[in-house]
Amino acid sequence: HPASTTSTPVTVIGLGMMGTALAHAFLSQGHPTTVWNRSPGKTEPLTAQGATGADTVGRAVSAGPLVVVCLSNAEAVHQVLEPEAENLKGRVLVNLTSSTPEEARTTAAWAQRHGIDYLDGAIMAIPPLVGQPQALIFYGGSSGAYSAHEQTLRALGGATTYLGEDTGLPSIYDSALLGILWSTVAGNIHALALVGTEGVTAEAFLPYATAWLNHVAVPYLPRLAQEVDRKEYATEISTLNVNREAIAHLVSASRSQGVSPELLLPVQALIERRVARGHGSDSLSSLIEELRNPSA
């Protein structure tokens, strides 16, 4: 692969909210960009910006060495690209569609069979952030393809990260980080409902939630990581026994304040189960063993 430059042509297949943002980012970096979308009406805003609208997938794929696909799901990717396997041969296919590791590896195996240089990717940003320095996008797969097109792919985000040859990694990192996002948002939503019962506004509570995450939750993560990697769960500080009492208070307080504790009940159940199995003096990190052995 010749190393990518700002003149490397790029094809974007799929012009949903994300695909459109991707095409804009490539265009703004000066790449000749060809775009295709299943239903009409989505290419016009991009052709007005200088993109070339292709009326078939085949013409879009043939436009250059780098094809980026971003559709709703893996099934859509296969529906659109299976017929183009021959045409994709020798090109680099970058799949930024959300998928499971299994779907990513299945698509990678399909690409391999057809001589298509494949990278799976996961975009850890919402469309408006695409192209920003802090936009984080993970890639996994062909190292040759990545080194050849890293420069071009950086148009999509400054925090572009290559995780190695395993095409399954970007999606597992994606899911893991989204899990942290959803559980953090869930905790905040429950907290705001709780303080709200006493007339405390979200704005008034915000500085404490922010400080709590920055000064307690985040500094705990390195210790959590070490305990998990070493499977060393002994602690004198915050045992499961202590947390079991505290979360029981939270649940009963929530109920007596008229706020559903449902977002936190699963955590309470996990703690109860772990304590019942005799691990009450372990740290919170030992909960991971319950997740790893659900039926244990």
Q: Is residue 140 close enough to count as binding ligand FVH by CB under 6 A?
A: no
Distances (CA, A) of 267 to 222, 233, 288: 21, 18, 11
Contact region with ligand FVH (CB under 6 A), list: 69-77, 254-262, 275-283, 288-296: 69-77
Q: Which residues, listed in sequence order, are joined to residue 282 by a DSSP beta bridge? A: 234
Judged by CB under 6 A, the residue of 61, 70, 116, 148 near ligand FVH is 70
- In whole angstroms, give the CA distance from residue 11 to residue 144: 19
Q: Give min distance, CB of 152 to ligand FVH, in A.
A: 19
Q: Is residue 127 close enough to count as binding ligand FVH by CB under 6 A?
A: yes
Q: Give min distance, CB of 39 to ligand FVH, in A.
A: 3
Q: Is residue 130 close enough to count as binding ligand FVH by CB under 6 A?
A: no
> What is the bridge-based pairing of β-strands 159-162 and 136-141?
parallel
Contact region with ligand FVH (CB under 6 A), list: 2-10, 37-45, 106-114, 237-245: 37-45
Contact region with ligand FVH (CB under 6 A), list: 17-25, 109-117, 141-149, 215-223: 17-25
Q: Which residues, listed in sequence order, are joined to residue 69 by a DSSP beta bridge? A: 13, 95
Q: Which residues, listed in sequence order, are joined to residue 138 by a DSSP beta bridge? A: 122, 161
- In whole angstroms, give the CA distance from residue 141 to residue 117: 8
- The DSSP element (H or E) to which 271 belongs, if any, is helix 265-274
Q: Give min distance, CB of 156 to ligand FVH, in A.
A: 11
SS3 sequence, 133-166? CCCEEEEEECHHHHHHHHHHHHHHCCEEEECCCC
Angle at which helix 202-212 crosses helix 169-196, to 10 degrees, equals 130
Q: Is residue 121 close enough to count as binding ligand FVH by CB under 6 A?
A: no
Judged by CB under 6 A, the residue of 63, 71, 156, 287 near ligand FVH is 71
Contact region with ligand FVH (CB under 6 A), list: 68-76, 163-171, 188-196, 259-267: 68-76
Question: Residue type at 37?
Answer: N
Q: Do the Cβ atoms of 155 and 29 come closer than 8 Å?
A: yes
Q: Is residue 10 close enough to count as binding ligand FVH by CB under 6 A?
A: no
Q: Of how many residues is the chain composed?
A: 296
What's the number of CA atoms in the CB half-sphere (13 Å) around residue 78?
12
- In whole angstroms, give the CA distance from residue 86 to residue 45: 30
Q: Is residue 180 close enough to count as binding ligand FVH by CB under 6 A?
A: no
In the region spanning residues 73 to 112, those forming contacts with ligand FVH, defined by CB under 6 A, are 73, 76, 79-80, 97-98
Q: Is residue 178 close enough to count as binding ligand FVH by CB under 6 A?
A: no
Instruction: Give the count of residues interacting with ligand FVH (CB under 6 A).
Output: 22
Q: Is residue 19 close enough to count as binding ligand FVH by CB under 6 A?
A: yes
Q: Is residue 156 close enough to count as binding ligand FVH by CB under 6 A?
A: no
Q: Hey, what are 130's tokens?
A: 């695409």
Residues that bind ligand FVH (CB under 6 A): 14-19, 37-39, 42, 70-73, 76, 79-80, 97-98, 123, 126-127
